[in-house]
Structures are given as C-alpha cells and as structure tokens.
Chains A and B, each alone.
Chain A
Amino acid sequence: MYILIVGCGAFGSEMADTLSQDGHDVVVIDRNELSFRLLPAGFNGMTQRGNGIDEEILREAGIERADALLALTSSDSVNLMAAQIAKSVFGVERVMARLYDHSRIEIAQAKGIEALCLTDIGVVQARYALRLGGVLRLLSLGAGEIELISLNAPKSLSGRRIEEFELKGKFHIAALLRQGRAILARASDALQEGDTLYCLVRVDLKDAIPEIFGIAQEEF
C-alpha cells in the first residue's frame, strides 16, 4: 500500500518505520525538518517537508495515489482537518486520525474517518496494568460485535471448571493468566484464586458477565 503519514513525532516516526518495514510505500510529512531525525537511519520510506493540511504539500507527497492516510500529529484539529482533506477532497480510501480528546470521535466518524483515540487506549491499558479488578474491555473485534475482555477470577469461584461458564456462541473463556504465565483455557481446568481470565463475549452480553458467573457485581 501507498501510505501517507502526517506528523513525524514519536508516534508518526515509529509508525512510518514499522509500515515501511512491513513492505509498504510510506511518505511521512512534517512541518519541521528536524522531526525527521526521529526516523531510524535505515528508514526506507520518503519524507516530505510541509504542512499536512496544505493541499499542495499533500499532492506533492502523492496523495492522489495514496491508499491510506494516517494523521498522527499532536493536534486533534490538525489531524481531523488533514484526514478530512484526504477523505473528501482526494477520496483516499482508508483515513485515520489520532485523537487525544474522546469527545471528538463522533465528529471523525461522521466524516468517515477512523478515530484512533490514544486516550481511550491508554485508559484501558493503564486500568489493565493496575489490575484493579472488574471487567476490562481490551479489544473490540470486527465492527464491535465481539469483545475481548479480561477479569480477575473472584475467590468464590475457586475450584469451578471453565466449562461451567461456557455459553455456546455467546461467551467463551479463551485463556488464563496464572502466576504470570498465560495458558489456553481447557474445558476441564479449574479456576484458582488470582487467575486472570480472558474471555470473548458477544457485545450484547457484556453487561451480563456477573450473571454468567452467577455472582454479584461487587465480587469482581
């Protein structure tokens, strides 16, 4: 794919290098020539100096034949504007904007832009890392039909077997984290205190997790 990246900060440069190593043709755009120093010496893509919301600069970077544009500067509004120009003016198929502010996702989606809200992702990761308990949504699959969640097995469930909680086509315990090691869950495995469970759940049932385990919300 021919991919344009707007913004060569820590995120943009890393993304550019990764995509380039994946074999894509990458052009990274930044207003500041010095930003390109963040790219590793072996970077195989191209750089274009200039403003990513400037039609001419985008044209010079080859937007007319681009398959995707990722707007990854540190400004939500610059990212949204660059993404909209890519989508509405040049008809780029895949357009993504990095956002800090969760409340702007709606605007992005209304304009046909995929929002990459780092704040949301960060919040999920941090909550997960803190292991505060409760049900954590880790990943949304497809258009959100299925979610990967994690939860700490409550003490009251110790000794119960994985298969007791299986709901065909609705809820599935996929893996366990036990004493720092991940294992794929087998139907006959018994839960232990301190286990973290990774479950796939149909999105309409995600609020029914306590019921599935037959316990009260507070026990998580």
Chain B
Amino acid sequence: MRSIVVGGGKVGYYLARELKRAGHEVIVIERDEAHARRVAEKLDIEVILGDSAHPHTLADARADEADVLAAVTGLDEENLLVCQIAKLKFGIKKVIARVNNPENEKIFKLLGLDEAVSSTSIIASLIEREIGFSRLKSLLRLEEVGMEMIEVELEPDSSLAGKTIETLSKHLPKASIVAMVLRGGQAILPRGDTKLEPSDTLLLLAKPEAKGKLEDAFGKKAR
C-alpha cells in the first residue's frame, strides 16, 4: 500500500517507521528541514520538504497514486486542509487527520472528515481504563451506526450476582443491550433467564449517550 504521512515530528516519525516496517511504501511531507533530514536519514524514507497544504507539494509526493494519507502535524487547521485537498484534488479514499485539540474532533466530523484521531482523547481513555475510575471499558466504536461495544467486569462480591438478565435490563438505559456474558473463558449468549455470577464479564452494545446511565447502573470501581 502507498501511504503519505504529513508531518515528520514525533508522531509522524514513529508512524512512518511503523508503516515501513509493516511493508508499506511511505512518503513523508515535512516543512522543517531538520525534521525532514532526521526522517530521511534515520528511517531511509523519501521525504518531501515543503508546505503540505499546498497541492504542488502533494503532487510531488505522488498523491494521485496514494491509497492512504495521514495528516499528523501539530496544527489542526493544517491537518484539516491537507486532508480536504487530498480527498478533493487527488481522490485519496482513506484520509486520517490527527486532532490536537480534542474539541476539534466533533468539528472535523461535522466538516466531513470521518477519520479524526485525537491523541489526547485516546490517552485520556487509556489512563481512565488503567486507573479505573470507570467500570466501563470502551472496546470498540462503531462510528457509522453510532454504537459502542463496552465491557463491564462484575466484582467478586457484586450485588448483581444471582440476578437474571431480565432483572438487570430493567435498570439499564433503553439504548443499551447485554450482548454477551463471558464466564471462565466461555462465551454465553444471554437470554432473559440467564443468571449472573460473581466476576462475570458483560459485553454491552450501547449508544454513546447511554454511557452516563450505564455508569450509574454498574457503579464506580471501589479502590
């Protein structure tokens, strides 16, 4: 696959390195000469020195032949513009923008950029998972259908043990459903009369707006 990485700073450098290791053809665009040289010399990757949000620079990077473009500079407005030029002028199907300010994640989507990655939000959710102030682990976001797959682990002394899925469901928000119960490495497809046991792991499908109520239903993690 041919990919273009826009921005040769820290994120761009490691992304380009990983893509190359995975066997992709990579071209990096970077406007700073020192950064550009570092990528070219250390990674032995072709680097185009120039203003990425300029169609000529993208043409130099053979954008018309690229399958993927990832814009990962530190400026959100640059990342947005590069992705839009890549889509509109060069017809690159898969474009991904890094979002530096998490507030812009929503804006990017409203402006038609579906693949916006906010490192700040990712790090925040990882930390959240590690320190566990939430019992909900977001496993997967199904962006297109507006659903999330969420994992919840019951405590060994959970008050939900012994209750049926039917009873539990009465306390869950409407926009959510228990899709699977994991118990001792086995997957159980839940029915209304399935009884919960201590330390069960539940996989839920839920709309993002139901998360607040799910938090309430399962309680915060006690530490």
Contacts and interface: CB of A to CB of B under 8 A. Distances in A.
Interface of A: 53-56, 75-78, 80-81, 84-85, 88-89, 101, 103-104, 106-107, 110-111
A120 to B, nearest CB: 16
Contacts of A107: 81, 84-85, 88-89
Nearest to B81: A77
Q: Which of A55, A81, A111 has the most CB of B within 10 A?
A: A81
B89 A55 contact: no
B88 A77 contact: no
Nearest to A73: B77
Nearest to A56: B103
B107 interface: yes
A80 B81 CA distance: 8
A103 B80 contact: no
Q: Is the interface of A mostly helix, strand, loop or mixed?
A: helix
B78 interface: yes
B132 to A, nearest CB: 31
Contacts of B77: 53, 75, 77-78, 80-81
Contacts of A101: 54
B53 A76 contact: yes
Given A55-B103, A76-B81, A80-B81, A88 B111 contact: yes
B116 to A, nearest CB: 13
Contacts of A56: 103
Nearest to B85: A107
Interface string B100-113: 00011011001110
Contacts of A89: 107, 110-111
Given A77-B78, A104-B55, A104-B85, 7 more contacts: A55-B103, A77-B75, A77-B81, A81-B77, A88-B110, A89-B110, A110-B88
A106 B88 contact: yes
A111 B113 CA distance: 13
A146 to B, nearest CB: 29
24 contacts: A53-B77, A53-B104, A54-B103, A77-B75, A77-B77, A77-B80, A80-B81, A80-B84, A81-B76, A81-B80, A84-B80, A85-B107, A85-B110, A88-B110, A88-B112, A89-B111, A101-B54, A103-B54, A103-B55, A106-B88, A107-B84, A107-B85, A107-B88, A111-B84
Contacts of A88: 110-112
B220 interface: no
B109 to A, nearest CB: 10
B91 to A, nearest CB: 13
Closest A-B pairs by Cβ, 7 of them: A77-B77, A81-B77, A77-B81, A103-B55, A78-B77, A77-B78, A84-B111
Nearest to A79: B77
B81 A104 contact: yes
A101 B107 CA distance: 24
